[in-house]
Structure formats: C-alpha cells, structure tokens
Amino acid sequence: MNTAHQPDQAASEDLPLKGIRVVEMSHMVMGPTCGMILGDLGADVIKVEPPRGDGTRRLLGAGAGFFRTFNRNKRSVTLDMESEEGIAALQKLVSSADVFIENFKPGRMAALGIDYESVRVHNPKVIYVSHKGFLKGPYDKRLALDEVVQMMAGLAYMTGPVGRPLRAGSSVNDIMGGMFGAIGVLAALYQRRDSGQGKEVQSALFENCVLLSAQHMQQYAVTGQPAAPMPARISAWAVYDVFELAGGEQMFIAATGDAQWRALCELIERPDLLADERLQTNNQRVLLREWLLQTLRTTLIGLDGAMLGPELERRGIPFAPISRPEELFDDPHLKASGGLARLTLEDGSQTDMPLLPISLNGQRLPPRRPIAKIGEHTHEIMRELGYSDAQIDVFCREGLKQAS
C-alpha cells in the first residue's frame, strides 16, 4: 500500500481504499468511470492530463456532462507527453502507484514506456488496468465506441423496433466497462495482500455488451426461438406497458400477478374486467393482451397521474412516471435519501450530482473535493515525487508552450 500524502484525510478516514494511490491516464467515459469509483471509495486518484487539459472538458452536445460526471474526487497533474521530461515524470509517477488506469488505443502506452511489462519491472506491485474495445482476439485492434459494440453484440437489435436497431440512451457499456475495471482492481488488491504481486486487468466494451445480451442468447438456447426485439416481443405479462393518462401524461403500469390484477381493476373501477371469465389468469390475459391493453387505455386516459400514482403505490401495483433526466434534480426520493450531492465544479459553481448507487453502513459516498482545474495539483504531486520547485516550473513552462 502506498503511504504517500493523502488529501482530505479526515474525509477519507473510514473509506475502504484509504492509502491507495491511483494514477489515471484516461479520457471520455470508461477509464474515468473506473477512476471515479476508486476515488469515491477513498483512493487518492491522480488524473494525468495534457497541458491543454483532457479534451473531454471541452465537449459539447451529448458529451457536455461527461467530464464533471466521471471526474470527481481526483487531483489533476498536467504533463507534456511530447517532451522527454514529461515522459520521465509520468514514468516516475506510475512507479509510485498502487493502480494505473489507461484507455488509449493499443500501442500508445508501449510508445511511452508505460505498458504493463515495462511498469512491472520497477513496480511489481502495480495493478495495471486497461480499458479497451475488445479483449484479446481477432477484433482487438479495431477501434470501438459504445454505439459500435451495441450494434455488434445484439443490444441495439433487442432495443429498437424490428428493422430499426437502436442504441440505449446512455453510455451503458462505457460506464459498465469502467465498473468492471474497478471490480478487477478490487479483486487484484485483495489478492495482492497475500501474493505481494500486482496484476494486469483488462476490461472491454464488446465483451461487456455481450454479457448484457447473454440472457437473450440463452433464451434461444433454451427455446430454439430467436429472441424478439423489445417492441415486438410477446410479453410474459398481460399488463406491462406505458399508458397515456389525462393531460397527455404517460405512466408505465404493470400487473404481473393475479393479486395485482385484482387491485388494478378495483382501483380503476372496472369490475367487468375482474368478472370476465376470459381474464382470470395471467396466461389467459396474455392471449387477449392487445384487446385488453386497448380496453385499459380507454379508462386510464381519463385519470390524473398525480392522483393515480399514490393509489398504485398504496395497493402494491408497480408503476413509474415517464421522467426526463432533467426532472431527476427534483426527484423526492433522490433528494431525501442523499442520492444527490452538491459537487463544486472547476469554475467554483455547484451542481447536484448523482452518487454511486451503494451505501456503506448506511452512508453514501459523496464528493470529497471539487472537480480539479487543469493541472491544479501539478506542483503538489511533483513535489511528492521529489522534484524541486525549479524543475516543476520548467514542466509548467514547457506545458504552456505546448498548450498555446
């Protein structure tokens, strides 16, 4: 375990990864997610950025929220990878790490002299985690994106209507890839306690997405019938759909058992459906599903969602309003349970940020430090490595030239 200076020690005192130093040289979503998880768990995460900063900081559109979402609880150091001094400093930094995270294309780390085989010579205890498009095999030199692997691994086919493959609406594979990288790190740290040796960990987008499709692969293996895309599949439950309510509001409602079916019919005052001999079991209702859903829609469209929701909850009927992401800032459960926490951004402003979906002894894992400014901790971290202020000033001057 690395015993170098730990920031915000009091805040990290009871966290599982206190004392673990992580050096993260990654960008976009997958690698930063891994670093964020380890940082939230108490590790000292040092993010290595080029002199102009991680390009993810400057993304617009769908990428505008990437950096702030996946880079909390990290310190920032800037190094110029075009200079011998910058590469030497990076190599020294990695040699001090318990964990090194990267997600660059194959060959880039070897060119910098920080591939796993090179690093382990000087740091045999290092846990080296690479986030790639594919694990070793025929595809491992291909470039991959979340959307690419969703198309390749069946997820897009299962999500969209027949003939219209559709990617999921979030970076599910990038985020899960970072999660699996973190899981590999935790397993390797546990094993290192006995072996004293580090390990190379790899996580990949394609294999991650194949796991998401595994249930559909096995559905085919069991039934001999290919799984149909979500919009076209035959549901196992008759009432399991989105319904329009009064005023154009939409709500998902499900009745997966006979008790829920009875409760729903009583709530919406449809005793005729409850008494219908053709609808006494779920399987009977599935056979009449198209007619039944249309019948329910004629009743539900006249009901107010604000009144219906509490009654569905009281009667134990699964339901969900169709929420937009921006509405989650005001979600009463997230606000009351501590699922959102104030995060200070690099410009000093603040935002509410969703936390990791876990608690330890009932406690959530909040941000312990603001989002770092570009290179904010370069002097601090370089001093920890034994560099003098004069040497650090040279790094910074060269970095400014590179960034201009």
pLDDT tens sequence across 312-357:
999 999 999 999 999 999 999 999 999 999 999 999 999 999 999 9
Looking at residue 6, its pLDDT comes to 39
Fold (topology level) of 9-212+343-354+366-403: Rossmann fold (3.40.50)
Looking at residue 399, its pLDDT comes to 56
Give the pair of three-digit tokens for residue 314. Answer: 């009281």
Which residues are marked as active site? 174
Give SS3 for 101.
Answer: strand
Q: How many CB atoms lie within 10 A of CB 13?
A: 10
**Percent with pLDDT over 90 in the chain:** 87
Looking at residue 182, its pLDDT comes to 98
- Cα–Cα distance measured from residue 28 to residue 67, given in angstroms and rounded to the nearest whole number: 7
Architecture of the domain whose range is 235-323: 2-Layer Sandwich (3.30)
pTM score, whole prediction: 0.91
- Residue 351 or 12, more confident: 351
Q: Which residues of 18-50 are buried (b: 16+ CB within 10 A; e: fewer)?
A: bbbbbbbbbbbbbbbbbbbbbbbbbbbbbbbbb
Block residue for tokens 């306690």: 193
Alpha helix (H) residue ranges in 41-111: 66-70, 84-95, 108-111
Sign of CA dihedral 189, 190, 195, 199: negative
- Average confidence (pLDDT) over 98-116: 93
- Residue 397 or 272, more confident: 272
182-230 pLDDT per residue, tens: 999 999 999 999 999 999 999 999 999 999 999 999 999 999 999 999 8
Give the distance, in angstroms, between the CA of residue 173 and the centroid of all CA atoms in the same chain.
Answer: 8
Strand partners, 319: 253
Residues sharing a CB contact under 8 Å with residue 253, sequence separation 6 or more, in sequence order:
239, 241, 243, 264, 300, 312, 317, 318, 319
Do the first three CATH levels of 9-212+343-354+366-403 and 235-323 match, i.e. the same topology? no
223-238 pLDDT per residue, tens: 999 999 988 877 889 9
Altogether, the residues listed in the chain come to a count of: 404
Indicate if the pLDDT at residue 388 is higher than 50. Answer: yes
Block residue for tokens 């009743």: 299
Strand partners, 243: 251
Residues sharing a CB contact under 8 Å with residue 378, sequence separation 6 or more, in sequence order:
76, 77, 78, 79, 392, 395, 396
Tell how strand 44-49 and strand 21-25 pair up: parallel
Q: What does the mean pLDDT of the chain come to?
A: 93
122-178 pLDDT per residue, tens: 999 999 999 999 999 999 999 899 999 999 999 999 999 999 999 999 999 999 999
Q: Delimit the domains of the chain by residue range.
A: 9-212+343-354+366-403, 235-323
Give SS3 for 391.
Answer: helix
